[in-house]
Structure 1
Amino acid sequence: MNLRPLVPLLVAASIMLAGNGVQGTLIAIRGAQEGFSTSLIGFMGTAYFGGFLLGCVMISRMLNAVGHIRTFAALAAIAASGTLLLVLLLNGPAWIAIRFVMGFCFSGLFTTIESWLNSSVDNSGRGRLLSIYRIIDIVAVTGAQFILPAFGTGGFTVFAVMAVMITMSLVPVSLADRSSPTPPRDIHFDMKGIWRLSPLACIGCLAIGATNSAFRLIGPVYAQDIGLSITSVATFMSAGIFGGAILQYPLGYWSDKHDRRVVLMAASGGAVVAGLFLGFGAGVSPIANYAGIFLFGAFALPLYSLSVAHANDYAEPTQYVMVSAGLMFCFSAGAMVGPFVSSFVVELYAPPALFTYTSAVHATLIVATLWRMRVRGPVPAARRGAFTMLLRTSPLLARLAGNGKMRKTDEPKQSTNPGDTAKDLSA
């Protein structure tokens, strides 16, 4: 695999991942500084994921209409402008509207980049490219948190820096090779069919959407309330994200060898314990909080990839993209609810109640797993596929995760019958 032509796209991806990773933290911290209520900050998270969900549905049409470069340029310009408007319009309703637009833009930007990457690599190189992409994600998102203490969360500067980052992502894309990647077809999916395929995977993605979004958007409020400085808040958020990366592969390897539902239940149990530790042991010491959030991320964040892997055990290779799209829909639906509900819990009780909320959600997932284990036997070992860590950026990432298993000849033709959505799949 020749990486050289892909370097501009990977640079643009790193900038997008960093900007997206730090904006949620900044919104929570700056919103609190501006006197916004926790519930209002939570609703901003709901608006963001509402826009993100709309972007997953709409962007492929834009790519087909005007191509990759123009789509990326338009969305990056809107996202950079929206970042500046956040500091120019310091009021709640404006921020809610801007965050909705930003969710749409970031969803479209990731879909554009990942569609382009998919078109630029053959099946033999997909696994290596996905590994590089995951490393970029971990480094970019964890490192970006420290933009906040470096430039401060007050005033105009940090928003200007983020707007510059988004604008600069246009440079590598604009100067990349002049090829015209084939735009992706619309991804059709049948939620009833996906539910029949794996109810537990749908429930798992709803749960991780509801908890992960709460951690990313309300977590900074919790961290500030227990007395952490801006630098410590950045460290706190980075520890959770990094923890999620560390345990992905051990849990995934375990799930390849045993019933994935057992691993899903064990990881949920770990997230419950870590959440209760943070909820009831808040403020013991900064080190204890870092350790608690590291363990929370380590157990909670892999639940999405475990759920997708469990669903794919029942799916045919040609259904992987459809399954990814449907489960991302479930994740986004949960992510719309999570910040809104958790913010009200925090307002009613106190910021540490955030992790009591996440523990309740993860405990519900344990109950759902036990229910499914009673009504359905385990997937035979011969049918289980290899676990793959997935980013929650676009459904098209499932094509990279195919690692050569899904040949072009396996991709079904587009059906003209709307009722064929369970088999009408495309990448």
Structure 2
Amino acid sequence: MTTNLRALVPLLLAAALLLAGNGVLGTLVSLRGVEEGFSTFTIGLISAGYFIGFLTSCFHAPRLIRAVGHVRVFAALASVAGVGTLLMVLTVDPWVWGGIRLAMGFCFSGVFVVIESWLNQASAPAERARILSLYRVVDLTSVTGGQFLLPLWSIAGFELFSVAAILFGLSLLPVALTNTSRPTPPAQFRFEPRKVFLLSPVACLGALSIGLTTSAFRMIGPVYGVEVGFNTGQVALFMNAGIVGGALLQLPLGMFSDRVDRRLALLLATLGAVAAGVFLNAVTTPNLIFVGAFAFGAFAMPLFSLAAAQANDRAGPQGDFVMIAAGLMFFYAVGAILGPLGAAALMQTFGPSALFAYTSTVHGAMAAMTIIQMLSRAPVPRAARSRYVALLRTSPAFSRLANRDSDGPSD
């Protein structure tokens, strides 16, 4: 079997349009909320709604796909996302926005299940690494590129919402017009978070901590930028600095973790995130804040992939990688629901500096738990470890694509 890479271009293009629209919208919602006078905690509540919908869809989208197929589910969910985006302009109300963001979290998680399960089936083992690399490049370039749309129009207007809705609408075209044969619907993911926690407590705590901190950075970070005096362009640079930092350090940290006790790599990355948060608390000039954001992303963003690699090591060569991915996604999503709420409440009370005091506290607690685990539990022998894979936090379906050589036939 060989992969027809040309047949995958429509899926990757659809993913690019969705990621670009979702990237700009996530920042835009926070900035427009500030413009409309929403409290920081209210913006945190709206952000939490997105992750509630995201978590729900991770485990229900496969049922929808089995019922009506990939293309229909993609079309329905992308359409709802576009409608929801326009409704946010027509009805500027925090409760309405919260409900819309919950629905949009469900939609985006669902469309990523569609794309990733489709890519999984269509990719041959010999081409899998190339497809994974392309997908990660699409993710990085689309999300960072989307941020730079923000300075082009006023936050107070309707244009940016319209641009996001246009991107969601355009994403329908590559999927609807592709002549790829209908793929087989994905299997239902096994959902056993307790079993995954017992398998590797440090991995689950790592997923929880990354949910608590990076969701706060992504959703409340724009509010922080406004409160420290950034204009819209500077907010976009601030957010992109963290994203690019995380992308650049993924591979070096992963390679390091393959050579040492994986928990040591987790510990060092976590301590790096603590240091970056402390640095951001101490600096006030824009350029130094951008440097701090880059460092924070560089150490915090790879933690999910490191945690997944640690859990997969404990699972053994025949481990159920998708069950582990679903369990870790659960812990990540729980953290992502609570993270914006906690960070927003602290910022509302103590000011913008509380955001990175919060992230440093969470990461410091994670570092302490990692040390305890290292002292109380022997490391996995090097020969028994799985290889490190940089994961996207989009859906458990991505884990099947990333670990397909070890996980057996695809669905």
- Give the TM-score category using the shorter length: over 0.9
Alpha-carbon offset, residue 2 of structure 1:
2.5
CA contact (8 A) 1:64 1:183 kept: yes
Q: State whether residues 123 and 407 of structure 1, in contact with CA within 8 Å, keep that contact through their aligned partners in structure 2.
A: no
* TM-score, scaled to structure 1: 0.94
Following TM superposition, by how much is the alpha carbon of 1:406 offset from its aligned partner in structure 2, in angstroms? 2.8
Mapping of 1:358-377 within 5 angstroms?
A: 358-377=359-378
Is structure 2 residue 371 aligned with structure 1 residue 381? no
Answer with 303-312 or 122-131: which moved more.
122-131
The separation in 2 between residues aligned to 1:187 and 1:123, in whole angstroms, is 22
Note the alpha carbon deviations across 1:310-352, whole angstroms, 9 max, x for none: 0000114441111011101110010000001110000110011
Moved over 4 A (4+): none
Q: Which residue of 1 aligns with 2:205?
A: 203
Q: Distance in 2 between matches of 1:309 and 1:109?
A: 25
Q: Per the alignment, in what secondary structure is the counterpart of residue 155 of structure 1?
A: coil
Unmatched runs of 5 consecutive residues or more in structure 2: none
For residues 182 and 229 of structure 1, the distance between their equivalents in structure 2, rounded to whole angstroms, comes to: 47
Q: Which amino acid letter does the alignment assign opposite residue 161 of structure 2? A: F
Amino acid of the structure 2 residue aligned with 1:389: A
Q: Which residue of 2 is the match for residue 310 of structure 1? A: 310
Q: Give the whole-Å Cα distance in 2 for the aligned partners of 1:296 and 1:237.
A: 11
**Per the alignment, in what secondary structure is the counterpart of residue 405 of structure 2?**
coil
What are the superposed Cα offsets for residues 154-197 of structure 1, whole Å, 9 maximum, x if unpaired?
21111111101100000000111141100011111322211111
Query: Could you tell me how far apart the structure 1 residues matched to 2:319 and 2:342 are?
Result: 36
Query: Percent sequence identity over matched residues?
Result: 50
* Structure 2 length-normalised TM: 0.97
Q: Is the 8 A contact 2:112 2:395 kept in 1?
A: yes
Q: 2:24 aligned with 1:22, yes or no? A: yes
CA distance in structure 2 between the aligned counterparts of 1:152 and 1:11, rounded to whole angstroms? 27
What is the match of residue 235 of structure 2? 233
Change beyond 3 A, Cα 1:17–1:94 = same
Task: Identify unmatched segments of 5+ residues in structure 1.
Answer: 412-426
Residue 123 of structure 1 corresponds to 125
Structure 2 distance, partners of 1:307, 1:345, is 27
Q: Tell me, yes or no, if structure 1 residue 342 matches structure 2 residue 343.
A: yes
Letter in 1 for 2:42: L
State the 1:225 CA deviation. Answer: 1.1
* CA–CA distance in structure 2, aligned partners of residues 202 and 286 of structure 1: 35
Letter in 2 for 1:13: A
Q: For the Cα contact (< 8 Å) 1:44–1:95, is it kept in 2?
A: yes
Q: Which aligned pairs between 1:14-413 and structure 2 lie closer than 5 A?
A: 14-281=16-283, 283=284, 285-316=285-316, 317-408=318-409
Per mean C-alpha deviation after superposition, the further-off stretch among 172-181 and 252-261 is 172-181
Note the alpha carbon deviations across 1:265-323, whole angstroms, 9 max, x for none: 11111100110111232x2x211011000000000000000000000001144411110
Alpha-carbon distance between aligned partners in 2 of 1:272 and 1:347, rounded to the nearest angstrom: 22
Which amino acid is 1:387 matched to? Y
Q: Is the CA contact 2:204–2:328 (under 8 Å) kept in the aligned structure 1?
A: yes
Q: Contact 1:127/1:402 (CA < 8 Å) preserved in 2?
A: no
| Aligned AA (1:199) | P
CA contact (8 A) 1:190 1:326 kept: yes
Paired residue type of 2:23: G
